[in-house]
Amino acid sequence: MVMVANKKTQKQMDDDLNLFLGPNTTKFTTWLVSRFHLGLLIFLKFSCFVFIYLVKYF
């Protein structure tokens, strides 16, 4: 998560983690990036609903 927070690219994460994860590095970083993007998408959708609610009722 630190690498995501530091805005490292997937390639940079692959390079940094390759020593520890070996052949599973790309599989892990692909999974990590996809989970991050899914979480961001859910957050943005929720934020839009809250904004629309606030504009509509307040």
52: which 2 tokens?
């629309």
Name the pLDDT band for 2 (thresholds 50, 70, 90): low
Q: Where are the alpha helices (DSSP H) in 1-58?
A: 2-5, 10-21, 25-57
- How much is the average pLDDT of 44-54? 77
- How much is the average pLDDT of 25-46? 81
SS3 content of the chain, % helix, strand, coil (to 5): 90, 0, 10
3-state secondary structure of 21: helix
Look at residue 58 and tell me whether its pLDDT is greater than 80: no
Q: What percent of the chain shows pLDDT beyond 70?
A: 90
Q: What is the pLDDT of residue 24?
A: 93
Q: How many other CB atoms sit within 10 Å of the CB of residue 29?
A: 24
Q: What is the pLDDT of residue 18?
A: 93
